[in-house]
Amino acid sequence: LLLANDAAESRMDQEFRLHIELETEKLMREHNLAPAEARRRALAAFGGVENHKQALREGRGFGWLRGLSLDVKLAVRLLARYPVLTLVGGVAMAFGIAAGVGAFAFRMLLVDPVIPLDEGSRIVGVRYWHASRNEPVQPTAYDIDMWRDELARIEDVSGFTSFFRNVITPDGRSEIESVAAMSPSAFRVARVSPLLGRTLLDADALPDAPLVVVIGHDIWKRLFSADAGVVGRTVRLGREQATVVGVMPEGFTFPAAHNLWVPLSDRAGVEKGSGLWVFGRLARNASRAAAQAELSAIGARLAASSRDTHEHLRPQLVPYTWLLFDPLDPDIWYGLTIGNIFFVMLLLLVSANVALLMLARAASRESELAVRSALGAGRARLVAQLFVEALVLAGLAVGVGLAGARFALASLLANVETNRGWLPFWASDSLTTTTVIYAGGLALLTAAIVGIVPALKVTGRGLHDRLRQSTAGGGGYRFGGVWTAVIAAQVAATLMFPAAAFIFHDFVVAGQTRDVGFAASRYVSARLELDRDRVPGAPLEATDDALRMRMGRTFATLEARFSADAQVDGLTFADRLPATQHPRWRIEIEDEPSPADAASRLAVSSASIALNYFDVIGAPVRAGRAFSAADLASEPRVAIVNESFVGTVLGGRNPLGRRVRRAARAQDTPGPWLEIVGVVKDLGMSPEAAGLYRPASPETASVIQLVLGVKGDPQSLTSRLRAMASEVEPALQLHDIMPLDQAGASGWNDSQYIARLMTVLSAIALLLSLTAIYSVTAFTISRRTREIGIRVALGADRRRVIAVILRRPLMQVGFGLAAGAVMVTLTFTGLYETTPTLSELFLIAVYAVIMVAVCLLACVVPARRALRVEPARALTVDG
């Protein structure tokens, strides 16, 4: 537009020049005038050149644009004139925009991410929706075969499943890796060529084909030192030998976060009937709707013909990423919604802040606005100008906000990767066009709130009356009741946000540093798993039984091998580690009617442990007896409880010989009666401190968390553990090897991240709020300079004057503090179900004092300035 404007200007100049030259020449020719005189007359005949230019410019129809550019110039000049307000307002907006955009970008990443593959948006997922249970159901290899034959609008229908395997190189290096057993056609869906060798072929998936594997760039570098001759070598995947046939390029971790690909076949240990993630590529020119229609037709036919298996199954086309993260899943949806509400609240808080600042500024320019209005500027024109000012500020803020959002997103993803150990390949911190557009929209919205609302308020009815007053020496704009409420709300929110963050932080730290009752740093823990090998032709339960038996045998060998190591000082296991979350049981006590307060009193934590558990961690049974081998003979009928159990559940009565059981839940029978045979001290159970232990063997435990006593440096042992385990059994996987005192804390990583995030956000919000409260209070006081002058001139005592001035701001802050205190109390009781500790109360009090101090400072500084001014001069002050 500006370019077009320039071009039009230069054409106009050229045309005028030619006219004047021709006229000059004519005058010289016909009247024999000297060139200078001829030119003078030509110019006179033409009339005012600039006037005509202006007429043409206006005629060109971009008048509003020049008005706008004038507004922009004015806005920039004003922003530069009030640097502090600009800085605070800009930072506040940038912060708000960053928070809003960050939340939006994260949401987009979950709901509609960009898939970084060739025409990635045409890769779609296919799943069943169970019409009566209302939940997704995974299709099987049979479904894939059928769809591949019948679907014309989805090509290369493929499936994958994922499991862990020990990857053991010929030189004995061992790592646990996530393996994708995947249809060879999936490589065609991804459209990525291998770096070395080949990808999987359809022939590799035939039942008697030898096992082959394609490895990722990462593994190629780490386990094979980027050896160019790796193709053709063998590698062990658990108990199987596989031949490496190809290496994929860097960054390829399709279908989710994988580095190893084997064909989807019986040979790779995948049952034909087990559930798979299914996907394909939309055929050329096929729309999603058309593909869904085709799928539905096949589904309807199948539901009629195979009633026993497919009656309730409705095939459903979904975005590819929804296979792994379904944003409609109630849990994810809930989390997203809560997160969004938090950020919207934050944005509102920030907007209110900036609006206050802008109102203060707009009010201070009231005389200017009134004069302009008197000179004929319409209200719309004035509001537009203030809006443009806010927009310029918002424009600056958007740049900073986008950078901030990107930083926040990167940090969030890094946190997820650290805690979960992996990130799907489409998780990227780069902001999409949609996100940038959203940021622009947010900036417009912010500018509208921040610019238009105060502008309407200031330019509203009474502007001229106030102009008359202010030129006559009266008041000018006053902050009315609405703004008192806004300031009070601001104070309350400012009190609540950091308090909530602080308390949550405390809560997390307490959880992380929970006393487990023994020297946990002297132990190392790891989760033990075995490859789930297929038993050909056997039903699933047989495979599970075989797995349990094998686990029992393997554990015995492992125990012997580890115990022989000079650094190992005892070995045991439990299904839950101390300081981590345990299953929560509601229990019944035999011969005891459930009392009214049963709900809270009879909730306990539960764990299954090895017979030697208490001996190995050095916490012998304090009363009664330990578990013995006889307790495992049949289904366990015994339990050992901790001291909290005795205290809270039994009220200190003797527990030995009493029988307890898990209470029946909604549609469930109660558990078997368990006789309490012993008592131990509390060993860091949560969520309930009261807990009971049941005996377990490696065959019966649902999860095996290995606990090893360590002599000397734990680090030197952990680095050897995996290799030692692989020697015993290649199919044995050791997950999450770490010192036992960190195992508890690792469960809190997410909470810790959220606590940190809340702290940072609250700190910024706090700073902004304090600045806004300061500016607005200081501003309103400085508007009363005249009044102060008059009071002093009339002989008022200075202290009395200050008292009068302080009354209103202090009341505002007082209201806010009271409301904030109520909200903090509600947060405590509602969210954390605790009462604040003494130190927390003290900190909140300190915090309130700081806020009052800021308010006082904001009152006193301008008030002192006003008092120092000579009364006669104060009277001349505008406003």
Least gap, CB of 3 to other proteins (angstroms): 18
Tokens of 117: 């593959």
- Comparing CB distances to other proteins, the nearer of 44 and 403 is 44
The position carrying tokens 């199948």 is: 302
- Report, in Å, the least distance between residue 34 CB and other proteins: 21
Least distance in angstroms from the C-beta of 21 to other proteins = 8
Pairing outcome for strands 659-662 and 674-680: antiparallel
Classify each residue of 197-234 as buried b or exposed e, where b means 16 or more C-beta atoms within 10 Å of its C-beta.
bebbeeebbeeeeebbbbbbbbbbebbbeeeeebbeee
Residues 41, 60, 314, 379: which binds other proteins (CB under 8 A)? 60
Least gap, CB of 66 to other proteins (angstroms): 16
Q: Which is nearer to other proteins, 50 or 541 (CB)?
A: 50
Residue among 607, 422, 618 at smallest CA distance from 519 = 618
Q: Give the binding range for other proteins (CB under 8 A) out of 45-53, 103-111, 526-534, 744-752.
A: 45-53
Nearest-approach distance from CB 55 to other proteins, in angstroms: 4
In the chain, the amino acid numbered 132 is S
Q: How far apart are CA 323 and CA 129, in angstroms?
A: 12
- Which CB sits closer to other proteins, 30 or 308? 30
- Least Cβ distance, residue 430 to other proteins (angstroms): 46
Q: Is 28 in the site for other proteins (CB under 8 A)?
A: no
Between residues 15 and 118, which has the closer beta carbon with respect to other proteins? 15
Q: Which is nearer to other proteins, 52 or 301 (CB)?
A: 52
Note whether 29 binds other proteins by CB under 8 A.
no
Please answer whether residues 458 and 390 qualify as being in contact, where contact means their C-beta atoms are separated by less than 8 angstroms: no
Residue 51 touches other proteins, criterion: CB under 8 A: yes
Min CB(42)–other proteins separation in Å: 8
Nearer to other proteins (CB atom), residue 32 or residue 51: 51
Helices 35-46 and 2-31: crossing angle in degrees, nearest 10, is: 120
Q: Which stretch binds other proteins (CB under 8 A): 13-21, 354-362, 543-551, 632-640?
A: 13-21
Q: Is 74 in the site for other proteins (CB under 8 A)?
A: no
Torsion of CA 46, 50, 55, 61, to 10 degrees: 140
Cβ 28 to other proteins shortest distance, Å: 14
Minimum gap (Å) between residue 30 Cβ and other proteins: 11
Q: Which residues contact 613 (CB under 8 A, 6 or more apart)?
A: 572, 573, 574, 693, 707
Residue 824 neighbours by CB distance under 10 Å: 24
Decide whether 58 or 592 has the Cβ nearer to other proteins: 58
SS3 713: coil
Query: Taking the C-alpha atoms of 545, 548, 552 and 554 in order, what is their torsion angle to the nearest 10 degrees?
Result: 110
- Establish if 756 lies at the interface with other proteins (CB under 8 A): no
Q: What share of the chain is helix, strand, coil (3-state, %, to 5)?
A: 55, 15, 30
- Name which of 31 and 873 has its Cβ closer to other proteins: 31
Figure out which of the listed residues 4, 22, 228, 380 binds other proteins, where binding follows CB under 8 A.
22
The correct pick among 7, 34, 35, 46 for binding other proteins (CB under 8 A) is 46
Distances (CA, A) of 304 to 4, 307, 308, 309, 790: 67, 6, 10, 10, 92
Residue 23 as a binder of other proteins (CB under 8 A): the answer is yes
Site membership for other proteins, residue 41 (CB under 8 A): no
CB of 22 to other proteins, least distance (A): 4
- Indicate the residue among 49 and 856 with the shorter CB distance to other proteins: 49
Q: Which stretch binds other proteins (CB under 8 A): 12-20, 530-538, 589-597, 610-618?
A: 12-20
Q: Does 56 bind other proteins (CB under 8 A)?
A: yes
Q: Does 45 bind other proteins (CB under 8 A)?
A: yes
8 A C-beta contact, residue 567 and residue 717: yes
- Measured from the CB atom, the residue of 42 and 295 that comes closer to other proteins is 42
Report helix, strand or coil for 647: helix
SS3 at position 136: strand
Told to check if 421 binds other proteins by CB under 8 A, we report: no
> Closest CB to other proteins among 50 and 171?
50
- Of 9-17, 405-413, 580-588, 761-769: span binding other proteins (CB under 8 A): 9-17
User: To 10 degrees, what angle do helices 749-782 and 798-827 make?
Assistant: 160
Rounded to a whole number of angstroms, the minimum distance from the CB of residue 252 to other proteins is 58
Pair of tokens at residue 677: 């045979």
Q: Does 842 bind other proteins (CB under 8 A)?
A: no
The smaller minimum CB distance to other proteins, of residues 48 and 251, is found at 48
Count CB neighbours of 93 within 10 A.
Answer: 30
Of 47-55, 462-470, 661-669, 792-800, the segment contacting other proteins by CB under 8 A is 47-55
DSSP symbol at 702: S
Nearest to 242 by CA among 158, 181, 305, 323: 181
Contact segment (CB under 8 A) with other proteins among 19-27, 157-165, 204-212, 485-493 equals 19-27
The smaller minimum CB distance to other proteins, of residues 47 and 207, is found at 47
Question: DSSP for 334-348?
Answer: HHHHHHHHHHHHHHH
Single out the residue of 4, 7, 11, 37 in contact with other proteins (rule: CB under 8 A). 11
Among 6, 13, 15, 202, binds other proteins (CB under 8 A): 15
Residue 60 or 381: the one with the smaller Cβ distance to other proteins is 60
Nearest to 386 by CA among 412, 360, 405: 360
User: How many positions of this chain bind other proteins (CB under 8 A)?
Assistant: 21
Q: Which residues from 803-832 bind other proteins, rule CB under 8 A?
A: none
- The position carrying tokens 């205190």 is 821
Half-sphere exposure of 437 (CA within 13 A, CB side): 4
Of 18, 437, 796, 857, the residue at the interface with other proteins (CB under 8 A) is: 18
Pure H helices in 422-539: 433-447, 453-459, 463-472, 481-512
Q: Does the protein bind other proteins through residue 48 (CB under 8 A)?
A: yes
Q: Can residue 30 be called a binding residue for other proteins (CB under 8 A)?
A: no
Q: Evaluate whether 429 touches 413 at the Cβ level (below 8 Å).
A: yes
| Interface with other proteins, residue 47, by CB under 8 A | yes
Residue 10 or 835: which CB sits closer to other proteins? 10
3-state secondary structure 818-855: HHHHHHHHHHHHHHHCCCCCHHHHHHHHHHHHHHHHHH
Instruction: Identify the residue whose tokens are 């459930």.
Output: 594
Integer Cα distance of 863 and 876 in angstroms: 17
52 or 665: CB nearest other proteins: 52
Using CB under 8 A, which of 1, 32, 59, 210 touches other proteins?
59
What pairs with residue 174 in β-bridges? 168
- Distance in Å, CB of 7 to other proteins, minimum: 12
Q: Which stretch binds other proteins (CB under 8 A): 18-26, 135-143, 252-260, 693-701?
A: 18-26
Dihedral class, residue 455 (left if φ above 0, else alpha if ψ from -120 to 50, else beta): alpha
Contact window for other proteins (CB under 8 A) among 10-18, 135-143, 547-555, 832-840:
10-18
**Distance, CA of 594 to CA of 598 (rounded, Å):** 6
Burial of residue 637 (number of CB atoms within 10 Å: 0-12, 13-18, 19+): middle
Instruction: Give whichever of 26 and 625 is closer to other proteins, judged by the CB atom.
Output: 26
Of positions 4, 55, 437, 485, contacts other proteins by CB under 8 A: 55
Binding site for other proteins (CB under 8 A): 11-12, 14-16, 18-19, 22-23, 26, 45-49, 51-52, 55-56, 59-60
